[in-house]
């Protein structure tokens, strides 16, 4: 491959569509027994024996879902896979394969695509999934990435949103609001950078919330822990749009209400500190901030003893009858009605 003299980058036109596909996918080898044939034919071939299959897909558009001014392409590739796998874990299933389709904008060179695929490969290795195909096209409107993930589980393990029962305990993994505060920090530093003509961003001391925003990890270990503890969750969802919104999904689909307690919500110290800098209540970030990719699930009350010592899981409330409504008891004892404030890019501003 020869380089463009001015930029030192390799133009995609030089490789052509098939050359680019070969170049990007050459290093991927299959790890899963269920992958019979991966990249290279009209379709991939999979064999899941007797397990049930879950399939989920996500579309990521430049300028809507990610901003290339502060998102390194390698992180973007990793995150694009991670958020898909999060949906598979949220079904209490194990991810097996992904497909990756890309729309490549004119400003992208082969080296940029290499970075993106490095991130994709890292996530595939970390979560033991195979890249089994995709599609590649030019794009006139910026970089587009669509990933589909396939996972499997025994039929009696798969966990839906619509099956929470009254008096079930509501549990959440990890901590909340960090990814949102990481995004606020990045947006702030971008503004400073643009208005000062290139001042260095102030990001020290906030590594955790930046990592929550730029390199989220799907909660594989929570699914494995529940299995080890012998707990079958009664319902589950991953937190992509904020706790409040996801809890409302479980309640609405299950025909139930809920009661959660402010002082039980897990919030990291860095998240609180950043929220205070922005004059924002940390609880708002925890309830409405998106992209934490923690798991929200319900369990039978009798399973409490099995997980009460697990630091990674917080019990934050319980499911009630639908007529009782969905609300949070604040630290001062007030009852605050929960609202689905999920981020809606289709909404007119
Ligand atoms: P077709 O003409 O059948 O759509 P393609 O030439 O688009 O086939 O793709 C050839 C092979 O490369 C297929 O196995 C396809 O799934 C895979 N592939 C195409 N684009 C990508 C991509 N961006 N990432 C991973 N695999 C890809
Ligand atoms: Mg194709």
CB of 113 closer than 6 A to ligand 1? no
Q: Tell me the three state secondary structure of residue 241.
A: coil
C-alpha atoms less than 13 angstroms from C-alpha of 210 in its C-beta half-sphere: 16
**pLDDT of res. 7:** 76
> Exposed (0-12), middle (13-18) or buried (19+): which is 47, by Cβ within 10 Å?
exposed
**pLDDT of res. 204:** 83
Q: Mean per-residue pLDDT for 143-147?
A: 98
CB of 133 closer than 6 A to ligand 1? yes
- In the chain, the percentage of residues whose pLDDT exceeds 70 is 95
For residue 310, which phi and psi values (nearest 5 degrees)?
A: -80, 115
> Exposed (0-12), middle (13-18) or buried (19+): which is 137, by Cβ within 10 Å?
exposed
Distance CA 236, CA 18 (A): 41
* Residue with CA at minimum distance from ligand 1 atom 16: 133
Q: Mean per-residue pLDDT for 79-92?
A: 97
**pLDDT of res. 3:** 59
- Reported as a single tens digit per residue, the pLDDT across 27-65 is 999 999 999 999 999 999 999 999 999 999 999 999 999
Give the Å distance between the CA of 101 and the centre of ligand 2.
9
pLDDT at 342 over 90: no
pLDDT category of residue 174 using cuts at 50, 70 and 90: very high
**pLDDT of res. 66:** 93
Q: Mean per-residue pLDDT for 226-241?
A: 97
CATH number for 14-153 (one of 3.10.105.10, 2.60.110.10, 3.30.1330.10, 3.50.50.60): it is 3.30.1330.10
pLDDT category of residue 348 using cuts at 50, 70 and 90: very low
**pLDDT of res. 195:** 80
What ranges do the domains of the chain cover?
A: 14-153, 169-337
**How far is Cα of residue 56 from the mean position of the Cα atoms in its chain?**
12
* Residue with CA at minimum distance from ligand 1 atom 6: 18
CB of 100 closer than 6 A to ligand 1? yes
C-alpha atoms less than 13 angstroms from C-alpha of 272 in its C-beta half-sphere: 6
Hey, do 14-153 and 169-337 end up sharing a CATH topology, with the first three levels equal? Answer: no
Distance CA 274, CA 281 (A): 10
Average pLDDT, rounded, for the chain: 93
| 121 contact partners, CB below 8 Å, separation of at least 6 | 27, 28, 77, 131
First to last CA, the chain: 46
Distance CA 218, CA 277 (A): 28
Distance CA 81, CA 116 (A): 11
Task: Write down the H helix ranges in 26-150.
Answer: 73-89, 110-126
CB of 12 closer than 6 A to ligand 1? no
Distance CA 266, CA 269 (A): 10
The class (CATH top level) of 169-337 is: alpha beta
Q: Tell me the three state secondary structure of residue 276.
A: helix
Q: Tell me the three state secondary structure of residue 96.
A: strand
The DSSP code for 346 is T
Give the Å distance between the CA of 18 and the centre of ligand 2.
9
- Reported as a single tens digit per residue, the pLDDT across 234-290 is 999 999 999 999 999 999 999 999 999 999 999 999 999 999 999 999 999 999 999
pTM over 0.75: yes
For residue 41, give the ligand 1 atom closest to its CA. 14
Q: Which residue has the higher pLDDT, 193 or 323?
A: 323
């Amino acid at each position: 491959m020869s380089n463009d003299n001015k930029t030192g980058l390799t133009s995609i036109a030089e490789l052509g569509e098939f050359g680019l596909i070969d170049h990007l996918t050459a290093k991927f080898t299959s790890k899963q027994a269920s992958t019979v044939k991966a990249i290279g034919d009209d379709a991939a071939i999979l064999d899941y024996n007797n397990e049930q299959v879950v399939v989920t897909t996500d579309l990521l558009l430049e300028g809507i879902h990610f901003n290339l001014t502060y998102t390194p392409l390698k992180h973007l590739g990793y995150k694009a896979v991670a958020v898909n796998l999060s949906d598979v874990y949220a079904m209490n299933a194990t991810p097996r394969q992904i497909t990756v389709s890309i729309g490549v904008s004119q400003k992208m060179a082969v080296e940029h695509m290499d970075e993106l695929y490095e991130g994709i490969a890292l996530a595939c290795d970390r979560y033991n999934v195979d890249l089994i195909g995709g599609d590649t096209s030019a794009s006139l409107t910026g970089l587009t990435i669509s990933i589909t993930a396939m996972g499997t589980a025994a039929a009696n393990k798969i966990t839906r949103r619509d099956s929470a029962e009254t008096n079930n305990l509501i549990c959440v993994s990890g901590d909340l609001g960090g990814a949102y505060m990481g995004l606020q920090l990045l947006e702030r530093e971008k503004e400073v950078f643009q208005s000062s003509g290139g001042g260095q961003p102030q990001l020290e001391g906030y590594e955790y919330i930046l990592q929550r925003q730029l390199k989220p990890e799907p909660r594989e270990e929570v699914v494995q822990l529940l299995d080890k503890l012998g707990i079958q969750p009664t319902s589950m969802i991953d937190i992509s749009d904020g706790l409040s919104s996801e809890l409302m999904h479980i309640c609405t689909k299950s025909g139930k209400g809920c009661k959660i307690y402010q002082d039980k919500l897990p919030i990291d110290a860095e998240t609180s500190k950043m929220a205070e800098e922005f004059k924002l209540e940390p609880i708002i970030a925890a309830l409405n901030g998106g992209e934490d990719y923690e798991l929200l699930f319900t369990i039978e009350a009798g399973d409490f003893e099995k997980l009460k010592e697990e630091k990674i899981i917080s019990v934050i409330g319980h499911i009630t009858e639908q007529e009782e409504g969905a609300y949070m008891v604040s630290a001062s004892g007030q009852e605050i009605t929960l609202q689905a404030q999920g981020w809606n890019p289709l909404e007119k501003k």
